[in-house]
Chain A
Amino acid sequence: MSIYIDEKTRVCVQGITGRDGGFHARGMLDYGTNVVAGVTPGKGGQSVEDVPVFDTVREAVEKTGADASIVFVPARFAADAVVEAGEAGIELVVAITEGVPTLDAARMYARLHETGTRLVGPNCPGLISPGKCKLGIMPGPIHERGPIGVVSRSGTLTYEVVDGLRRHGLGQSTVIGIGGDPIIGTNFIDTLEAFARDPETEGIVLIGEIGGTDEEEAAAWIERELDKPVVSFIAGRTAPPGKRMGHAGAIIAGGKGTAEEKMEALKAAGVPVAERPSEIPELLSGSLRG
């Protein structure tokens, strides 16, 4: 089944006439995603990669039945674009953009909560249900369909882990990058709940990093609610306190949010934690067998 997206998802690309939007629209089309519309205000009537472009998301939804959107819009305008999609009836919005101001993210999350829209990101690579739909910027070829759900705060680290899974014959149901910012629309527990309900997902890999308390909250939830095996890796054991490590949300603040704390919380909840990414496939196979 996979989570959030499948072969029926109809995708609108906001910012399709820009360089990144056009490039990744092509990438999604090549993967087999149903990219049915693009939106760039003022460019309605054009087409990019044979995809019709509309001025507004509302028009795109009316004319094409788009139900998911991916936003390639610069940071200063990204929140407006996300809210526009939510208000136009889009069910799932993926915000790729890095650099969205935190208060914008808080406001757009609150608005999309009102419109009943799932937000993924911002500052994320998107998600992919291998063999069905790619709604993101990840490289298709390293993914293959299978029983493992992957949820991660990272981009290339996720690809590293997925590549390792593939080399060990562990295919993926859905791989979702939830993003590296302090306020994101979909967090670990949201995703684990969806994986729990998905018949196709038998095991889960959770990739975290320093900053915030999402991994600790996930650990508590896993212990209470989740039967499926989870294996984890947490990046940033060697990160110094008080410094932002690339991602806006990757910072040990006031002594809190260290990798060690997260690893301890997960282990206490019965989740094996890998010392390095290459250990994940074997830990996972062990958990699936046992």
Chain B
Amino acid sequence: MKIHEYQAKEILSRYEVPMPPFEVVDSPSQARAFAERTGAPIIVKAQVHVGGRGKAGGVKFAADPDEAERSAADILGMDIKGLTVGKVIVYEAVDIADEIYIGVVIDRASKRPVFMVSSAGGVDIEEVASATPEKIHRHPVDPQDGLSREEAAALGGAVDPRPDVARRIGDVIFKLWTAFNESDASLAEINPLVVTPDGDVSAVDAKMLIDDNALFRHEDIAAMRDPSLETDETRRAREAGLSYVKLDGTVGCLVNGAGLAMTTMDVIKHFGGEPANFLDIGGSSTPEKVVTALDIISSDPGVKAILINIFGGITRCDDVARGLIEAFERRPLDLGVVVRLTGTNEEEARELLSEHDLVTAATMDDAVQKVVEMAGRAA
């Protein structure tokens, strides 16, 4: 789950990561008031879930309260890559002598978190990684032991030769690790961690991604979910225990199993159709779940036909068929539907479905070809 910069900073503040005091505001007058209270230049930054805020004009330096108010007025309501800016973060501008990158991320290949630090902070770390990889120090973290203070100190020393500055950087590294570990993050980075002319450190930007699987044990972080991250349909699907991703095509699909659902989309494309969505109904296809799934898929006006592709596995196909029939009775559809059921009792299932005027197919290829043709005729 994505969280905003200001939310990541809230979490990191709890771990005493040094940073300029900040507020989140949604009006230019509040930005002005913050600048007046601060009595110094401030930064005004859009809080939206896309990268490249700076390039889009969503990050501004404001030398005085007038500029703060103008900057906030410019940025609030701005469209950045399709998202409208509703909030900005404001914080005192920090004098920059050096900019450091520190970050920790889950590395799938080594099955561990990996810490990365670089003296090339303040820029896109992916670019540093491809252009000058030698500037990034990577340090795998033992998942059971975690990062020790000694390791954190050593990493601080790797990016700054001055002992007192290195110590301060190492301290922030240790705190970032602790926040990452205790929050069940999949990514936590501070870029840049500014080193001031006095040798102090300050986290000017912060980013965290939280493991969706762990939200059950972080109610406070789960509450940080931004409704703009989801459409109504995606939220409804999530709440019903379905996985749903909307695409742009005309052939809707409802499938049991994520791999099979992705494959169904691929085969639709292969036979000349355009998939309208990904939807994994999961293990148990109860009538309630099917109704919800059909509702979500058919709420997209672009959908012209729907393929239901179920590999019965242990679930008996005639049970699934009865569930589908009940769902269609509760929610009759004006769209063409093709049902493919494979598994135990599949012949009985297909007979049941044909009795209710539903088009059936025995194989996935056959089902996809039928539904692509149906969608083509309906367009």
Q: Please report A residues at the B interface, Cβ cutoff 8 Å.
A: 27, 75-76, 99-107, 109-111, 137-139, 141-142, 152-160, 163, 180, 182-183, 207, 209-210, 212-214, 217, 233, 235-240, 243-250, 254, 259, 275-278
- Whether B356 sits at the interface, judged by CB under 8 Å, is no
Collect the chain B residues with CB atoms within 8 Å of residue A105's CB. Answer: 111
Collect the chain B residues with CB atoms within 8 Å of residue A101's CB. Answer: 184, 211, 213-214, 217
Collect the chain A residues with CB atoms within 8 Å of residue B343's CB. Answer: 139, 142
How distant is the Cα of A142 from the Cα of B313 in the complex, in angstroms? 9
Contact, CB under 8 Å: B144 / A102: no
Would you give the 0/1 interface string for B225-258, flagging 1 where the beta carbon is closer than 8 Å to chain A?
Answer: 0000000000000000001010100000001111
How distant is the Cα of A155 from the Cα of B314 in the complex, in angstroms? 12
Would you give the 0/1 interface string for B203-225, flagging 1 where the beta carbon is closer than 8 Å to chain A?
Answer: 00000000111101100000000
Q: List which B150-167 residues lie within 8 A (CB) of chain A.
A: none
Q: A154 — nearest CB in chain B belongs to which residue?
A: B259
Q: List which B325-367 residues lie within 8 A (CB) of chain A.
A: 342-344, 363-365
Contact, CB under 8 Å: B311 / A156: yes
Contact, CB under 8 Å: B262 / A209: yes
- Whether B263 sits at the interface, judged by CB under 8 Å, is yes
Q: Please report B residues at the A interface, Cβ cutoff 8 Å.
A: 106, 108-109, 111-113, 126, 142-144, 181, 184, 186, 211-214, 216-217, 243, 245, 247, 255-263, 265-270, 275, 278, 280, 311-314, 342-344, 363-365
Collect the chain A residues with CB atoms within 8 Å of residue B262's CB. Answer: 157, 209-210, 235-236, 238-239, 245-246, 250
Q: Give 9 A-B contacts (CB < 8 Å), ordered by A residue.
A: A101-B217, A103-B143, A106-B112, A139-B314, A154-B257, A212-B109, A235-B263, A237-B269, A246-B280
Collect the chain A residues with CB atoms within 8 Å of residue B216's CB. Answer: 75-76
How distant is the Cα of A182 from the Cα of B186 in the complex, in angstroms? 11
Collect the chain A residues with CB atoms within 8 Å of residue B257's CB. Answer: 154-157, 246
Contact, CB under 8 Å: B365 / A139: no
How distant is the Cα of A236 from the Cα of B262 in the complex, in angstroms? 5
Looking at the complex, which one of B112, B217, B259, B365 makes contact with A276 (CB distance below 8 Å)? Answer: B365
Going nearest first, the 4 A-B pairs with the smallest beta carbon separation are A246-B258, A154-B259, A156-B257, A157-B259
- A247-B213 contact given A106-B111, A110-B144, A213-B108, CB 8 Å threshold: no
Q: B259 — nearest CB in chain A belongs to which residue?
A: A154
Collect the chain A residues with CB atoms within 8 Å of residue B217's CB. Answer: 76, 101
Min CB–CB distance B318 → chain A (angstroms): 15
Contact, CB under 8 Å: A180 / B258: yes
Contact, CB under 8 Å: B212 / A240: no
Contact, CB under 8 Å: A238 / B266: yes
Looking at the complex, which one of A107, A217, A246, A254 makes contact with B261 (CB distance below 8 Å)? Answer: A246
Looking at the complex, which one of B258, B312, B363 makes contact with A154 (CB distance below 8 Å)? Answer: B258
Collect the chain A residues with CB atoms within 8 Å of residue B258's CB. Answer: 154-155, 180, 209, 245-247, 250
Min CB–CB distance B72 → chain A (angstroms): 29
Collect the chain A residues with CB atoms within 8 Å of residue B259's CB. Answer: 152-158, 180, 207, 209, 235, 246-247, 250
Q: B255 — nearest CB in chain A belongs to which residue?
A: A156
Contact, CB under 8 Å: A159 / B144: no
Contact, CB under 8 Å: A217 / B109: yes
Min CB–CB distance B176 → chain A (angstroms): 15
Contact, CB under 8 Å: B108 / A157: no
Collect the chain A residues with CB atoms within 8 Å of residue B245's CB. Answer: 240, 243, 245
Contact, CB under 8 Å: A106 / B109: no
Min CB–CB distance A211 → chain B (angstroms): 8
- A182-B109 contact given A99-B213, A156-B311, A246-B262, CB 8 Å threshold: no
How distant is the Cα of A271 from the Cα of B77 in the complex, in angstroms? 52
Looking at the complex, which one of B214, B270, B312 makes contact with A275 (CB distance below 8 Å)? Answer: B270
Contact, CB under 8 Å: A107 / B106: no
Min CB–CB distance A32 → chain B (angstroms): 16
Min CB–CB distance A55 → chain B (angstroms): 25
Min CB–CB distance B126 → chain A (angstroms): 7
Collect the chain B residues with CB atoms within 8 Å of residue A276's CB. Answer: 263, 266-267, 270, 364-365
Min CB–CB distance B144 → chain A (angstroms): 5
Contact, CB under 8 Å: B260 / A154: yes
How distant is the Cα of A244 from the Cα of B1 in the complex, in angstroms? 11
Contact, CB under 8 Å: B256 / A103: no
Collect the chain A residues with CB atoms within 8 Å of residue B363's CB. Answer: 278
Contact, CB under 8 Å: B126 / A246: no
- A238-B275 contact given A248-B213, A278-B364, CB 8 Å threshold: yes
How distant is the Cα of A135 from the Cα of B13 in the complex, in angstroms? 47
- A182-B108 contact given A139-B313, A156-B311, CB 8 Å threshold: yes
Residue of A138, A214, A278 contacting most chain B CB atoms (<10 Å): A278
How distant is the Cα of A236 from the Cα of B247 in the complex, in angstroms? 13
Looking at the complex, which one of B126, B212, B260, B265 makes contact with A239 (CB distance below 8 Å)? Answer: B265
Collect the chain B residues with CB atoms within 8 Å of residue A245's CB. Answer: 243, 245, 258, 261-262, 278, 280
How distant is the Cα of A253 from the Cα of B112 in the complex, in angstroms? 17
Q: B106 — nearest CB in chain A belongs to which residue?
A: A102
Min CB–CB distance B281 → chain A (angstroms): 10
How distant is the Cα of A160 from the Cα of B256 in the complex, in angstroms? 11
Contact, CB under 8 Å: B364 / A139: no
Min CB–CB distance B173 → chain A (angstroms): 18
Collect the chain A residues with CB atoms within 8 Å of residue B255's CB. Answer: 156
Min CB–CB distance B360 → chain A (angstroms): 17
Collect the chain A residues with CB atoms within 8 Å of residue B270's CB. Answer: 275-276
Looking at the complex, which one of A102, A138, A158, A183 makes contact with B214 (CB distance below 8 Å)? Answer: A102
Q: A239 — nearest CB in chain B belongs to which residue?
A: B262
How distant is the Cα of A142 from the Cα of B259 in the complex, in angstroms? 18
Contact, CB under 8 Å: B113 / A106: yes
Contact, CB under 8 Å: A106 / B106: yes
Looking at the complex, which one of B211, B247, B263, B314 makes contact with A157 (CB distance below 8 Å)? Answer: B263
How distant is the Cα of A109 from the Cα of B106 in the complex, in angstroms? 14
How distant is the Cα of A213 from the Cα of B262 in the complex, in angstroms? 18
How distant is the Cα of A102 from the Cα of B105 in the complex, in angstroms? 11
Contact, CB under 8 Å: A157 / B260: yes
Looking at the complex, which one of B106, B143, B268 makes contact with A182 (CB distance below 8 Å)? Answer: B106
Collect the chain B residues with CB atoms within 8 Å of residue A214's CB. Answer: 108-109
Min CB–CB distance B229 → chain A (angstroms): 11
